A and B are shown apart, each in its own frame.
Chain A
């Protein structure tokens, strides 16, 4: 933690960056995202096992619009999100300074995008055993039971869009749910509106999701909606050998193609 504070203080005092996005103490045992603009403020910066939030989402919010250069305290999920945003032309290397930290909490210093890509590759990715078990459990249900399971699970969704708001990849200025010509997704949070929202969101994240789990952490109802994206992450890897957040130059899986993609269902 001291290492991170040292780097942050130095970056600010040398005016190499104008804002550092990190963490400070929150309510009770929680931590909360914090935005440091003066070297002295950095005293409040903390970093511990509770710091799992994906801070990359703030890079596309209006608070960063007029800041010349932003530094960001980045665990491997944040690093991958930044790389993925870069591959989608949403952040520029000269505007973001990554302070890399491994999942164990070891600070690896300032990373440019190339180094960040290398760093992300060394960190554990892929599904946890319990997630994999959950996916298999659902997949093994007969089709109708699967459908009812998801309809019932999503019936408690209140359409607060906390999942969207806390996802770094959901940066669209006008989300599909906010268009009304046509009204793609019903606004109301009945079963139909809920399931369509989640189908749509999962598809829009296919090949772009890095499995940080923020969506489910943010959900006030604790709905396991991240499982849908996790399942697709595996599928995209198996079929297209593509993984999000590991290259700032390759296009996302669904924005690219090869002419030898194999499928077995098109007649």
Chain B
């Protein structure tokens, strides 16, 4: 659908949040607690942190939770009863205050969960998610969205995008049908406007390379020693994969107690040493450099081939969370000019 342009006063945003929350939707927005900013459920505008460059973790947990039950089982005297999770019971969720990079991250994640077979549970959650993003006025040295086909005012992945054009007003772009549904039930809050040039109100993020150039270069770099050099300081934790909006690796675990049990899906990371350990004892990626190579290749070479999507949106969360300062943008730039 064609983008519908509107204006929204900040006081109207407060009313919008309260209305959404009262109508039964769960609204998640960046909230600062104990010194860090992360997505949390809100029902008013009060606690929302509008100043953060970005949250520590991404919003992917709204469609791909850290832990999620997918079925339960119970052994009775006659039978084993298996009950699937009720996908019709997922709540309506609104992600408010995601950045354009966060919103763009839902697309490669969706591609992963729709490879071959569409994942029922993920898709049921995604269908109930509305993404209301806010453009970036600030960026820091970790941001590199413009190098991976993004930008601080990008509408990709958002249902509505707000851009702050003054202290009191947002320029609202209604991008999708879901966004239109919110507009249509709250027309009194929005004002008409012609399209506005967002550029003066957006952060500047210098483009350092292109995703396509990385993709090209990787074709010749599999056996290169650049991976050994780049990965030396990597400690092999899962922080980068867990905070990344586009990483979707998971583990399936059964937990039981007596005659009852559940099956979970929970996050996993290709950075862990035993991620690829076979039951035979062989580990095809036993060195950290192989796992680092895998991370870059997956995002910039394998995913483009398999799912026609790059697996990186340039949010920089991985670099901010990394205990060893493995700045991914720096590494990618090195690959691009190698």
Q: Which residues of A contact B (CB under 8 A)?
A: 26-28, 30-35, 53, 57-58, 61-63, 156, 158-162, 164-166, 173-174, 178, 183, 186-190, 193, 214, 217-218, 220-222
Contact partner, A63, options B232, B241, B243, B323, Cβ 8 Å: B232
- Interface stretch, picked from B15-23, B172-180, B212-220, B263-271, is B263-271
Would you call B233 and A218 a contact (CB within 8 A)? no
Question: B229 — nearest CB in chain A belongs to which residue?
Answer: A35
Would you call A188 and B323 a contact (CB within 8 A)? no
Contact partner, B325, options A27, A161, A189, Cβ 8 Å: A27
Would you call B330 and A187 a contact (CB within 8 A)? no
Complex interface bits, B285-297 against A, C-beta within 8 A gives 1, otherwise 0: 0111000000000
Would you call B35 and A165 a contact (CB within 8 A)? no
CB distance from A225 to the nearest CB of B (A): 13
Taking CB atoms, residues of chain B closer than 8 Å to A32 are 233, 324-325
10 residue pairs from A and B, CB less than 8 Å apart: A26-B325, A26-B327, A35-B233, A63-B288, A158-B238, A159-B267, A162-B235, A188-B67, A214-B323, A221-B56
Complex interface bits, B230-253 against A, C-beta within 8 A gives 1, otherwise 0: 001101111101110000000101
Would you call A166 and B267 a contact (CB within 8 A)? no
Q: Is B255 an interface residue (CB 8 A)?
A: yes
Provide the main secondary structure of the chain A interface.
Answer: loop
Contact partner, A158, options B66, B235, B251, B287, Cβ 8 Å: B66
Residues 30-88 of B at the A interface (beta carbon under 8 Å): 34-36, 38, 56-57, 66-67
Would you call A189 and B266 a contact (CB within 8 A)? yes
Taking CB atoms, residues of chain A closer than 8 Å to B243 are 220
Q: Is B272 an interface residue (CB 8 A)?
A: yes
Taking CB atoms, residues of chain B closer than 8 Å to A187 are 251, 253, 264, 266
Which of B36, B235, B238, B242 has its CB near the most chain A CB atoms (within 10 A)? B235
Would you call A189 and B237 a contact (CB within 8 A)? no
CB distance from B64 to the nearest CB of A (A): 13
Would you call B237 and A161 a contact (CB within 8 A)? yes
Q: Measured between alpha carbons, how far is A246 from B324 in the docked complex, in Å?
A: 27
CB distance from B155 to the nearest CB of A (A): 29
CB distance from B258 to the nearest CB of A (A): 16
Q: Is B151 an interface residue (CB 8 A)?
A: no
Contact partner, B237, options A30, A34, A162, A174, Cβ 8 Å: A162
Contact partner, B67, options A31, A183, A190, Cβ 8 Å: A190
Size bracket, chain B contacts? 35 or more
**Contacts A33-B324, A34-B233 given; does A174 touch B238 at CB 8 Å:** no
Contact partner, B36, options A63, A183, A222, Cβ 8 Å: A222
Taking CB atoms, residues of chain A closer than 8 Å to B163 are none
Taking CB atoms, residues of chain A closer than 8 Å to B287 are 62
Q: Measured between alpha carbons, how far is A46 from B241 in the docked complex, in Å?
A: 29
Q: Measured between alpha carbons, how far is A189 from B57 in the docked complex, in Å?
A: 15
Provide the main secondary structure of the chain B interface.
Answer: loop
CB distance from A69 to the nearest CB of B (A): 17
Q: Is B221 an interface residue (CB 8 A)?
A: no
Taking CB atoms, residues of chain A closer than 8 Å to B237 are 160-162, 164-166, 218
Q: Measured between alpha carbons, how far is A32 from B230 in the docked complex, in Å?
A: 12
Which of B56, B142, B237, B327 has its CB near the most chain A CB atoms (within 10 A)? B237
Would you call A220 and B67 a contact (CB within 8 A)? no
Would you call B264 and A222 a contact (CB within 8 A)? no
Contact partner, A165, options B34, B236, B267, Cβ 8 Å: B236
Would you call B255 and A186 a contact (CB within 8 A)? yes
Q: Is B321 an interface residue (CB 8 A)?
A: yes
Would you call B269 and A160 a contact (CB within 8 A)? yes
Taking CB atoms, residues of chain A closer than 8 Å to B241 are 160
Taking CB atoms, residues of chain A closer than 8 Å to B267 are 158-159, 189
**Contacts A33-B324, A158-B57 given; does A220 touch B232 at CB 8 Å:** no
Would you call B238 and A162 a contact (CB within 8 A)? yes
Question: B66 — nearest CB in chain A belongs to which residue?
Answer: A189
Q: Is B274 an interface residue (CB 8 A)?
A: yes
Q: Is B319 an interface residue (CB 8 A)?
A: yes
Q: Measured between alpha carbons, how far is A193 from B266 in the docked complex, in Å?
A: 12
Which of B236, B269, B321, B324 has its CB near the most chain A CB atoms (within 10 A)? B324
**Contacts A221-B56, A222-B35 given; does A162 touch B323 at CB 8 Å:** yes
Q: Is B141 an interface residue (CB 8 A)?
A: yes
Taking CB atoms, residues of chain A closer than 8 Å to B36 are 221-222
Taking CB atoms, residues of chain B closer than 8 Å to A162 are 235, 237-239, 321, 323
Taking CB atoms, residues of chain A closer than 8 Å to B142 are 27
CB distance from A62 to the nearest CB of B (A): 5
CB distance from B19 to the nearest CB of A (A): 29
CB distance from B59 to the nearest CB of A (A): 14
Taking CB atoms, residues of chain A closer than 8 Å to B269 are 160
Q: Measured between alpha carbons, how far is A217 from B325 in the docked complex, in Å?
A: 12
Taking CB atoms, residues of chain A closer than 8 Å to B288 are 61-63
Which of B232, B241, B243 has its CB near the most chain A CB atoms (within 10 A)? B232
Taking CB atoms, residues of chain A closer than 8 Å to B233 are 32-35, 58
Would you call B242 and A220 a contact (CB within 8 A)? yes
Would you call A27 and B67 a contact (CB within 8 A)? no
Q: Measured between alpha carbons, how far is A162 from B327 in the docked complex, in Å?
A: 16
